[in-house]
Structure 1
């Protein structure tokens, strides 16, 4: 049976909640995030702010330079969580197969649904209308036969839009898709694919699974499948996130110790943003290092109490770095993650008795 999958993505969720709750902010460039005077990071940008080239995970200092009149609002995660619960209650009117990806994003499997509605596109329209009626916020939706295609579709007609990719059109859609637009392919991987002559889905499909796994490791199996519009991952209603992390691949390998530490602090800042979005803290911190020869190592430390503040994360990451004998080896990737999570949202059960799990948001 062909599955019916919907991906719902709220439009500029945090920023839209702030504009909804404070009418004086409407139609103005606004970001939710930390102050530009305190090494803050943009957690979310309104569509008005995005016109200035401001986006999530950007340094607040850079954002204010792009738009001197930019409004900064501190995050109100309790409010966002309450609104998210409203939205998930709406989802539960149609299906229990709901996989939250974040407070503002989820996959729904409506192949068998509570309302016995034949078309997934009809359900997506009803959900979007319900969300607007009950919260005053808009959502975009992607509808297709698997999670990859639904995710791609939801971003095609934002804000407040919907795109349907029918099974018979799926391969043609993927063939024409620029490789840097693929969900799961970041900037560094896209650049490597370009260097191999892979510009779009059609080029990707020409490569064998062995070629792709030789070049990209286990991820090559995923690339091989999505090039053929295939994705058999189920919608996991009870999936629990075990860790939250952030990592960066460098265009030029790093060898200078101070540059490495500086990059670690930047990664820690992004990780802090993700932790805040998940309302989480963790007891185990892990440093990931990939050297220029692709050898990868990790170093971990488990603490007596959970941590979630930027200063401690940065300091512990540097401590782990000091435990590594770099031996003048250059580094192509650094990452920091927290595990053994204490997550408020993971502990929440909604009114419909399915577990609402807060998962990863940023890539």
Structure 2
């Protein structure tokens, strides 16, 4: 069977960075760099000529920067966009994540290492991300849809349409855990930014991120959300009204007292932090008081964790296929009978609020 290569366009104004990225991607038999450009203006021309599967763009460029380029692409000819940046200053971090809000699919740190070991690790991570993003479905995006208003906790009226199998359990819910993979950063922002300042539960998030992205993501979400956003620390109790993220390079669990604990990955583990490990640990401690939310992602991480939440009597939610998601993880959860509620992204936060308010 013959497999077609994933076509990539690189838009980068640094000759050194461009050369490294080309070398990284061209080393893979599954990826073909079909064009390069020095800025967004050139990039739009190259994209129209080459019809790539994935676009990789820098942030700061002359003539047209990465943000304006992303807005143009998503409004005119949407495709998966990977932002490659080195996050030098806080303003850069803020702008990088504005690209996500504008429609970019994910973020990757700009390569700058001379270490052979780090180089191989970076190459594997970048190629894997390109393969995942090439499978994403993206849609035209209007600018007025980019900002999402918070939802009031005292929502009224009927719930948005969903395939719901569970009725009101609001009085017993104590914690919410969310898992997402490559391409899920936009979705996380959409959901968390809708939670109001009086949201009464802790929210634990586990994401598959490129190394070095987490602190910038937390900083950006802190400016987007009404709740406190932070990286979970060992020995902390999950507190109401706080959004916690699993750390880099470690799995996040709860100990026998319900405090956060870090666990090192075992050799050969594909994802660290693992969504399933976090989900299972939370389900083990909170049992039926748990709500698990599984978002887009390739593979199966999170499916068994969502299954355990369902088995102990908790509520489970999964992002439906209509959302344009990479449906692998959710598909596995459905196969296990773990996805009680299949919702569109825009429905998830209102559904959570109605559930915990007992309506």
TM-score bracket, shorter-length normalisation: under 0.3
Larger strand proportion of the pair: 1
TM score, norm. by length of structure 2: 0.25
